[in-house]
Amino acid sequence: MEFFEAVAARRSIRKYKSDPIPEGVMRRALDAAILAPNSSNLQTWNFYWVRSEDAKAELVRACLSQSAARTAAELVVVTADPALWRRSNPEMVKFTQSIGAPKLVQMYYSKLIPLTYRWGFLNSMVPYKWLISALTGLIRPMTRGPHSRRDLQEVAIKSSALACENFVLAMAAQGFATCMMEGFDERRVAKLLGLPASARVVMVISAGVEGEKGTWGPRFRLPADRVVHEI
């Protein structure tokens, strides 16, 4: 499916048929998800393809047994965890060195990323990072964060949400329907997946073949001139 056709065709589907999704379709969409743009290329996301029947049943309950989860052929949970910078940053340091990236880029990963992504015990580093950015901001434009664990979780969530979009568009391009669900009990989902305290569940994505009355009406959007502003 052509890109703009996939964008136009994708809807949030609330009810699916019992048809299965070929494994290759899912893997291709997951491969597309990890190609999404993300902050500093730190890839602070994880994708949990919940395949066992017991785990799926528990996840459906955590999703309030809504039909979008209950009737889905497949369920994927996307999480964000800023602590995963420790997984990716050493690889980025080696990568930037191996390709002969500019020294400023190499220093960004070897020096600045560790400083930015360490929040300290009980967020003890936050006041110092805030003071540095506030004072520097008096002299020149300066990023005002992230400082705390919550700030860094927000950055990771933004990146993970972009990956979710890649995934659902890749599914649409292959002729399958999806629904990005935020209606779930995050604590129960986190417990099911064994997530650490630093991780957040961004969304649960259901997938399948659209069933009868998969949507409750036509798509509604505010007109572009109400939301697109030129200054």
Structural contact between residues 97 and 210, judged by C-beta atoms closer than 8 angstroms:
no
Listed residue (59, 55, 81, 54) closest to 186, CA to CA: 59
Which of 34-38, 119-123, 191-195 is predicted least confidently? 119-123
Bridge partners (DSSP) listed for residue 204: 77, 181
Residue 201 host element (H or E): strand 200-208
**Architecture category of domain 3-82+153-213 in CATH:** 3-Layer(aba) Sandwich (3.40)
Structural contact between residues 16 and 211, judged by C-beta atoms closer than 8 angstroms:
yes
**Model confidence at 190: pLDDT above 90:** yes
% of residues, the chain, pLDDT over 70? 100
Distance between CA atoms of residues 60 and 210, nearest Å = 18
DSSP 18: S
Q: What is the mean pLDDT of residues 38-66?
A: 98
pLDDT tens-digit series, residues 114-157: 999 998 787 888 887 878 888 888 898 978 888 899 999 999 99
What is the pLDDT, as a whole number, of residue 124?
85
**Model confidence at 178: pLDDT above 90:** yes
List the structure tokens of 24.
């290759």
Q: Is the peptide bond before 22 cis (omega within 30 degrees of 0)?
A: no
Distance between CA atoms of residues 137 and 132, nearest Å = 8
List the structure tokens of 52.
């066992």
Distance between CA atoms of residues 24 and 30, nearest Å = 10
Q: CATH 3.40.109.10: which residues of the chain?
A: 3-82+153-213
pTM of the model: 0.93
What is the pLDDT, as a whole number, of residue 23?
98
Q: What is the DSSP string of 68-92?
A: HHHT-SEEEEEEE-GGGHHHHHHHH
What is the pLDDT, as a whole number, of residue 170?
98
What integer best gives the mean pLDDT of the chain? 95
Structural contact between residues 219 and 10, judged by C-beta atoms closer than 8 angstroms:
no
Instruction: Please tell me the chain's helix, strand, coil percentages from 3-state DSSP, rounded to the nearest 5.
Output: 50, 15, 35
Distance between CA atoms of residues 125 and 210, nearest Å = 49
The dihedral built from the CA positions of residue 14, 20, 22 and 23, taken in this order, carries a sign that is positive
Listed residue (82, 70, 91, 7) closest to 44, CA to CA: 82
